[in-house]
């Protein structure tokens, strides 16, 4: 009677959290161990003799700064492109009645159901014709628009009261100004969260870049990391963990800052 | 003049998206459809018309048959791990606990932030049958870890677990949001009537949450089959002997490793048709919004 019965479901949920987080802790902790140490004390999450050896070795083997810069630049291009096209498209849907509106909307919805394999060969050929192989612009170019972004922006824009836009129209404020000075500022939270999600996804992207970037100097971080796995079994895991750790820092920081916005946007994307 | 201008404006806003969609989505789909009737190797100056032969090969070639079967196995595993499991947990969080819901959301989502290459790398080590920590722990209790990369079905299981690590939190949040949008008075009424929780969930909550559940289920299949590409390519490259390949991965192998553009395109078209069937289900049950624009 003194205490409410302990809710056993929390035990299950905490086990799931451990399952989700343990691999990250394992990765970070082993990246600070020497190869020999890691095999002896693999499961010690706090390294006995912390060392930056793996990081300095990594820095000798690959151009860390170049890799990070390539990845950052590519993710930025993709993010800016997707935000711009998404905002413009959503604004057209919010503000105008036009023929074929439903058809265009359904095409946007359908794009999520297009497997990348069906556009892979033609897009590869186009990028190759444009001489953009081994160039991050070639990676970014085919993915400058995204249906999920359009949907989320549209949902937020529909909450803007008509009276606000109408008042601006009566005052003869040009459309361009309504878009940039009224709509975009109201949408700031969505833009930030959707932008953060786009950036993180693009930062992590692997499939399309492997087709376009073959030359090591053009690699992004995920491609460089993949090079550290060896099918023959001789993988230097602590070294790979160091590169993995470098890869997860930026997404984690973005999440720490914008966590609330990001989770809200994801929730919204599912509400139809 | 004014009127004409107005009619033209929305299309101006749609123009960048339209150009990108036409150049990098619609035309490529049509071109892949065209390629699926030809024999080609991505480089040769001429393509040989072969009619339906590539499609015949998709369904009669033993390797492709194996890959189609694998795809079905992947779908079953993905639905259980990435849909049913998070759905169960979201029901627990919504109806069986009262505290820390926000904290669970924030923590469950963390792995979704990370690249599947990182996930593949970390799990390859954790699950390494010789030198991994799990093998070490199991050895201490007298169990030897199977060499999973030598078995197609075990490799598929591991690969699905890796994607589960990444998508669980994301799907959990979507499903929890759906449950959150069910009117509270319905739940309260059931409580007053003393209806057991599981009966309430089964008879009222699940049917009411059907829209978002179908959405997540379909997304799990469509995106899941593509997500597994990364761990397949990083860990097994489809092996042992195509044992862990699926239709998506086989399409890639045919195009960029075997240089059989025709087979690759036919596989891509067949995959697309399957996804389109799922899309029709989605539009039928989920996209109520489209009607607003009719």
Would residue B31 count as lying in a domain? Answer: no
Are residues A206 and A105 located together in one domain of the fold?
Answer: yes
**pLDDT, greater one: B289 or A210:** A210
> Is A40 in the B-facing interface, judged by CB distances under 8 Å?
no
Domain of residue A13 covers 1-51
Are residues B17 and B59 located together in one domain of the fold?
Answer: no
Instruction: Answer yes or no: are the C-beta atoms of B211 and B286 closer than 8 Å.
Output: yes
B39: β partners? B48
Tell me if A111 and B248 make a contact (CB, 8 A cut-off): no
- pLDDT category at A98 given cuts 50, 70, 90 is confident
Average pLDDT over residues B82-94: 94
Are residues A90 and A145 located together in one domain of the fold?
Answer: yes
Would residue A130 count as lying in a domain? Answer: yes
Q: What is the pLDDT of residue A133?
A: 94
Over residues B50-64, the pLDDT tens digits come to 989 999 999 999 999
- The domain tally of chain A equals 2
Would residue A57 count as lying in a domain? Answer: no
Task: Go through chain B and tell me how many residues it has.
Answer: 294
Are residues A99 and A8 located together in one domain of the fold?
Answer: no
Percent of chain A with pLDDT over 90: 49
> Is A91 in the B-facing interface, judged by CB distances under 8 Å?
yes
pLDDT at position A77 over 90: yes
Q: Which of A15, A31, A51 is the last residue of a domain?
A: A51
Tell me if A102 and B230 make a contact (CB, 8 A cut-off): no
Would residue B289 count as lying in a domain? Answer: yes
B49: β partners? B38
Q: What is the pLDDT of residue A1?
A: 40
Are residues B129 and B250 located together in one domain of the fold?
Answer: yes
Are residues A34 and A96 located together in one domain of the fold?
Answer: no
Instruction: Answer yes or no: are the C-beta atoms of A16 and B108 closer than 8 Å.
Output: yes
Are residues B1 and B93 located together in one domain of the fold?
Answer: no
Instruction: Answer yes or no: are the C-beta atoms of A46 and A105 closer than 8 Å.
Output: no
Would residue A117 count as lying in a domain? Answer: yes
Q: What is the pLDDT of residue A6?
A: 62
Average pLDDT, chain B: 89
- The domain tally of chain B equals 2
Are residues B18 and B137 located together in one domain of the fold?
Answer: no
Torsions phi, psi of A112, nearest 5?
-65, -20
Tell me if B13 and A92 make a contact (CB, 8 A cut-off): yes
> Is A226 in the B-facing interface, judged by CB distances under 8 Å?
yes
Among A213, A187, A77, A239, residue whose Cα is nearest residue A143: A77
Instruction: Answer yes or no: are the C-beta atoms of A3 and B86 closer than 8 Å.
Output: no
Q: Closest Cα of chain A to B294: distance in Å?
A: 6
For the ranges B5-14, B70-79, B194-203, B285-294, the lowest mean pLDDT is seen at B285-294
Are residues B65 and B8 located together in one domain of the fold?
Answer: no
**CA-based end-to-end distance of chain A:** 44
For the ranges A102-111, A124-133, B231-240, B263-272, the lowest mean pLDDT is seen at A102-111
Domain of residue B1 covers 1-25
Q: Which of residues 25-54 of B touch A (CB under 8 A)?
A: 25, 27-29, 31-32, 35, 42
For the ranges A111-115, A169-173, A184-188, B272-276, the lowest mean pLDDT is seen at A169-173
Task: Tell me how far the alpha carbon of residue A176 is from its chain's centroid.
Answer: 29
Are residues B1 and B119 located together in one domain of the fold?
Answer: no
Q: What is the pLDDT of residue B70?
A: 95
Are residues A31 and A84 located together in one domain of the fold?
Answer: no
Over residues A14-23, the pLDDT tens digits come to 999 999 999 9
Residues 6+ apart with CB under 8 A from B221: B75, B78, B79, B278
Angle (CA) A43-A67-B108 rounded to 5° is: 45
Average pLDDT over residues A240-252: 94
Are residues B41 and B167 located together in one domain of the fold?
Answer: yes
Q: What is the pLDDT of residue B1?
A: 41
Q: What is the pLDDT of residue B6?
A: 63
Are residues A8 and A70 located together in one domain of the fold?
Answer: no
The SS3 of residue B242 is coil
Tell me if A42 and B117 make a contact (CB, 8 A cut-off): no
Cβ-Cβ contacts under 8 Å, A94 against chain B: none
Tell me if B133 and A211 make a contact (CB, 8 A cut-off): no
The answer, yes or no, to whether the previous bond of B240 is cis (omega within 30 of 0) is: yes
Checking phi first, is residue B238 left (phi over 0); if not, alpha (psi -120 to 50) or beta? Answer: left
- Which class for B39: exposed (0-12), middle (13-18), buried (19 or more C-beta within 10 A)? middle
Dihedral sign from CA coordinates of B175, B177, B181, B182:
positive
Are residues A187 and A88 located together in one domain of the fold?
Answer: yes
pLDDT at position A231 over 60: no
Dihedral, B172, B177, B180, B181 alpha carbons, nearest 10: -150
**pLDDT, greater one: A202 or B282:** A202
Tell me how far apart the alpha carbons of residues B124 and B42 are, in angstroms, rounded to a whole number.
33
Would residue A58 count as lying in a domain? Answer: no
Would residue B207 count as lying in a domain? Answer: yes
Q: What is the pLDDT of residue B223?
A: 93
Would residue A102 count as lying in a domain? Answer: yes
Q: Closest Cα of chain B to A244: distance in Å?
A: 6
Q: Closest Cα of chain A to B189: distance in Å?
A: 24
pLDDT at position A82 over 70: yes
Would residue B255 count as lying in a domain? Answer: yes
Percent of chain A with pLDDT over 70: 95
CATH number of the domain at B223, please. Answer: 1.10.3720.10
Are residues B130 and B6 located together in one domain of the fold?
Answer: no
The SS3 of residue B38 is strand
pLDDT at position B289 over 60: no
Tell me how far apart the alpha carbons of residues A138 and A134 are, in angstroms, rounded to a whole number.
8
Tell me how far apart the alpha carbons of residues A96 and B36 are, in angstroms, rounded to a whole number.
40
CATH number of the domain at A172, please. Answer: 1.10.3720.10
Tell me how far apart the alpha carbons of residues B86 and A227 are, in angstroms, rounded to a whole number.
33
B256-260: long-range contacts, CB 8 A cutoff, minimum separation 24: B256/A124, B256/A211, B256/B42, B259/B41, B259/B42, B259/B43, B260/B41
Tell me if B28 and A122 make a contact (CB, 8 A cut-off): yes
**pLDDT, greater one: A3 or A15:** A15
Are residues B8 and B110 located together in one domain of the fold?
Answer: no
Q: Which of residues 44-83 of A touch B (CB under 8 A)?
A: none
Tell me how far apart the alpha carbons of residues B28 and A118 are, in angstroms, rounded to a whole number.
7
Over residues A186-205, the pLDDT tens digits come to 899 899 999 999 999 999 99
Tokens of A229: 């796995």
A41-47: long-range contacts, CB 8 A cutoff, minimum separation 24: A42/B133, A42/B136, A43/B133, A43/B136, A43/B137
Q: Closest Cα of chain A to B287: distance in Å?
A: 7
Would residue B30 count as lying in a domain? Answer: no
Place of tokens 């909307």: A105
> Is A231 in the B-facing interface, judged by CB distances under 8 Å?
yes
Checking phi first, is residue A133 left (phi over 0); if not, alpha (psi -120 to 50) or beta? Answer: beta
Angle of helix A237-270 relative to helix A147-157, nearest 10 degrees, comes to: 40
For the ranges A37-46, B217-226, B233-242, the lowest mean pLDDT is seen at A37-46
Closest partner CB to B248 (pick from A30, A111, A117): A117
Tell me how far apart the alpha carbons of residues A162 and A167 are, in angstroms, rounded to a whole number.
8
> Is A17 in the B-facing interface, judged by CB distances under 8 Å?
yes
A105: β partners? none
Are residues B185 and B113 located together in one domain of the fold?
Answer: yes
Are residues A209 and A170 located together in one domain of the fold?
Answer: yes
Residues 6+ apart with CB under 8 A from B191: none
pLDDT at position B4 over 60: no
Would residue A56 count as lying in a domain? Answer: no
Angle of helix B210-227 relative to helix B152-180, nearest 10 degrees, comes to: 150
Would residue A169 count as lying in a domain? Answer: yes
Are residues B20 and B142 located together in one domain of the fold?
Answer: no
Would residue B113 count as lying in a domain? Answer: yes
Are residues B167 and B250 located together in one domain of the fold?
Answer: yes
pLDDT at position B274 over 80: yes
Tell me if B97 and A112 make a contact (CB, 8 A cut-off): no
Are residues A5 and A136 located together in one domain of the fold?
Answer: no
- Which class for B51: exposed (0-12), middle (13-18), buried (19 or more C-beta within 10 A)? exposed
H or E stretch at B206: helix B206-208
Over residues A161-184, the pLDDT tens digits come to 888 888 888 888 887 888 888 888
For the ranges A118-122, A196-200, B152-156, B182-186, the lowest mean pLDDT is seen at B182-186
pLDDT at position A242 over 60: yes
Q: Which of the listed ranges A32-46, A110-124, B3-17 does the model predict with the highest average pLDDT? A: A110-124
Are residues A150 and A265 located together in one domain of the fold?
Answer: yes
**pLDDT, greater one: B225 or B282:** B225
Are residues A16 and A118 located together in one domain of the fold?
Answer: no
pLDDT at position B209 over 60: yes
DSSP code of residue B39: E
């Amino acid at each position: 009677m003194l205490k409410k019965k302990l809710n056993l479901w929390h035990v299950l949920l905490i086990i799931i959290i451990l399952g989700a987080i343990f691999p990250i802790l394992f990765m970070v902790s082993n990246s600070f161990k020497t190869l020999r140490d890691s095999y002896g004390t693999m499961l010690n999450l706090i390294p006995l003799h912390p060392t930056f050896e793996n990081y300095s070795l990594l820095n000798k083997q690959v151009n860390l700064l170049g890799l990070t810069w390539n990845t950052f630049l590519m993710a930025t291009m993709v993010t800016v492109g997707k935000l711009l096209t998404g905002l413009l498209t959503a604004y057209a849907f919010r503000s105008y009645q036009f023929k074929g509106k439903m058809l265009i909307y359904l095409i946007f919805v359908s794009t999520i159901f297009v497997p990348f394999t069906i556009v892979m060969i033609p897009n590869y050929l186009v990028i190759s014709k444009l001489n953009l192989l081994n160039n991050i612009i070639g990676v970014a170019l085919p993915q400058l628009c995204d249906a999920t972004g359009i949907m989320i922006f549209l949902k937020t824009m529909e909450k803007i009261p008509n009276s606000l836009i109408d008042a601006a129209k009566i005052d003869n404020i040009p459309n361009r100004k309504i878009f940039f000075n009224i709509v975009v500022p109201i949408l700031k939270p969505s833009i930030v969260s959707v932008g953060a999600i786009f950036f993180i996804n693009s930062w992590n992207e692997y499939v399309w870049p492997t087709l376009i970037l073959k030359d090591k100097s053009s690699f992004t971080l995920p491609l460089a990391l993949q090079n550290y796995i060896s099918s023959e079994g001789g993988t230097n895991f602590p070294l790979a963990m160091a590169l993995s750790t470098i890869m997860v820092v930026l997404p984690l920081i973005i999440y720490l800052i914008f966590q609330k916005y990001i989770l809200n946007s994801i929730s919204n994307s599912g509400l139809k | 003049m004014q009127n004409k201008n107005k009619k033209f404006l929305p299309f101006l806003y749609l123009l960048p998206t339209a150009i990108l969609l036409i150049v990098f989505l619609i035309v490529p789909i049509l071109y892949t459809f065209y390629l699926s009737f030809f024999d080609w190797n991505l480089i040769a100056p001429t393509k040989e018309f072969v009619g339906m032969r590539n499609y015949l090969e998709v369904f009669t070639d033993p390797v492709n048959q194996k890959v189609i079967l694998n795809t079905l196995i992947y779908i079953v595993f993905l639905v259980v791990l990435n849909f049913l499991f998070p759905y169960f947990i979201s029901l627990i969080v919504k109806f069986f606990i009262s505290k820390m819901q926000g904290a669970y959301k924030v923590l469950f989502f963390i792995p979704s932030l990370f690249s599947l290459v990182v996930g593949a790398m970390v799990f390859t080590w954790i699950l390494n049958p010789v030198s991994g920590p799990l093998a070490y722990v199991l050895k201490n209790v007298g169990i030897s870890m199977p060499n999973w990369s030598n078995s197609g079905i075990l490799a598929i299981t591991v690969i699905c677990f890796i994607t589960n690590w990444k998508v669980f939190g994301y799907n959990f949040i979507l499903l929890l949001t759906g449950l959150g949008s069910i009117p509270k008075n319905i739940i309260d009424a059931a409580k007053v009537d003393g209806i057991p929780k599981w009966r309430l969930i089964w008879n009222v909550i699940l049917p009411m949450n059907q829209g978002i559940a179908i959405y997540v289920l379909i997304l799990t299949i469509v995106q899941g089959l593509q997500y597994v590409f990364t761990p397949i390519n990083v860990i097994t490259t489809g092996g042992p002997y195509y044992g862990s390949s699926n239709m998506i991965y086989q399409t890639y192998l045919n195009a960029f490793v075997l240089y059989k553009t025709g087979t690759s395109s036919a596989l891509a078209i067949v995959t697309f048709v399957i996804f389109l069937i799922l899309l029709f289900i989605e539009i039928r049950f989920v996209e109520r919004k489209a009607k607003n624009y009719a």
